[in-house]
């Protein structure tokens, strides 16, 4: 991607996805935008074999902005890091187009692999605050990962993932033209299970009350016959 094209696309992504922004000039203050400027330069240097210089550029960015992106990572177009503090993206991570990640997200390794050891994130993926995606796994297109989730296995496209470890709670939503950045209204499997248990308990109590009433009526009838 040309540098001017990058400036336009990255700034447009921020303007589209962050309702807090009030002017185009604010884009220049965004840590996510500034670290991506460094990344685009460092990544080119890395591909040419200038590893030390590339790492130096990104390390300075990490020290200033708290966002640690390895220059060897591959990141597509229209990538948006919101807030960004605590974001870590490993060397062999691959991120597709139109992806959004929030503060505290880690795209890391498991410590047990060599070679390709970081996640592949396909297009139009949103990873919410504090989520950890670890290992050489693939997160499919149009997937949403809930805040605080820990994902250790491949996730198919069009999924919603929550929990520790992360599990799929929704599949194949109708894809919208605009990226869905809602981090709050995600299915809660624990709450759903509790609601189901409460309903089962209510039904059992009703059955017990009915049986108790029938038993009392039967006992009363037998007492009347004896008298």
Beta carbons of 97 and 103 less than 8 angstroms apart: no
pLDDT band, very low/low/confident/very high, at 185 (cuts 50, 70, 90): low
For the chain, the domains span: 3-185, 188-227
pLDDT band, very low/low/confident/very high, at 177 (cuts 50, 70, 90): very low
Q: Mean per-residue pLDDT for 69-97?
A: 94
Percent of the chain having pLDDT more than 70?
86
pLDDT band, very low/low/confident/very high, at 181 (cuts 50, 70, 90): low
pTM of the predicted model over 0.95: no
Find the range with the poorest average confidence among 7-16, 113-122, 204-213: 7-16
| 198 pLDDT above the threshold of 70 | yes
| 174 pLDDT above the threshold of 70 | no
Q: Mean per-residue pLDDT for 181-198?
A: 64
pLDDT at 176: 41
The whole-chain average pLDDT of the chain stands at: 85
CATH fold for the domain made of 3-185: UDP N-Acetylglucosamine Acyltransferase; domain 1 (2.160.10)
pLDDT at 227: 60
| 178 pLDDT above the threshold of 60 | no
pLDDT tens for 16-48 read 777 777 777 788 888 888 999 999 999 999 999
pLDDT band, very low/low/confident/very high, at 8 (cuts 50, 70, 90): confident
Name which residue leads in pLDDT, 185 or 61.
61
Name which residue leads in pLDDT, 79 or 227.
79
pLDDT at 188: 61
pLDDT tens for 91-138 read 999 999 999 999 999 999 988 778 999 999 999 999 999 999 999 999
Starting from the edge strand earliest in sequence, which strands make up the sheet with 100-101, in order? 80-81, 100-101, 126-127, 144-145, 159-162, 167-171
């Amino acid at each position: 991607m040309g540098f001017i094209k990058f400036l336009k696309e990255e700034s447009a992504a921020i303007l589209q996805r962050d309702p807090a922004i009030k002017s185009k000039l604010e884009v220049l203050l965004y840590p996510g935008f500034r670290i991506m400027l460094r990344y685009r330069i460092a990544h080119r240097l890395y591909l040419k074999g200038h590893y030390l210089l590339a790492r130096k550029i990104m390390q300075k960015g990490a020290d200033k902005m708290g966002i640690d992106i390895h220059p060897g990572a591959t990141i597509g177009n229209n990538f948006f890091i919101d807030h960004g503090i605590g974001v870590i993206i490993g060397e062999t991570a691959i991120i597709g187009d139109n992806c959004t990640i929030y503060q505290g997200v880690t795209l890391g390794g498991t410590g047990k692999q060599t070679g390709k050891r970081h996640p592949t994130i396909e297009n139009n993926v949103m990873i919410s605050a504090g989520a950890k995606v670890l290992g050489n796994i693939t997160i499919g297109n149009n997937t949403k990962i809930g805040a605080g989730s820990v994902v250790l296995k491949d996730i198919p496209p069009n999924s919603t993932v929550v929990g520790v470890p992360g599990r799929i709670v929704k599949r194949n939503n109708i894809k919208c033209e605009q990226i869905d950045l809602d981090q709050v209204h995600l299915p809660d499997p624990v709450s759903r299970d509790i609601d189901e248990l409460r309903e089962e308990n209510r039904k059992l109590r009703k059955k017990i009350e009915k049986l108790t009433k029938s038993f009392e009526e039967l006992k009363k009838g037998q007492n009347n016959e004896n008298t």
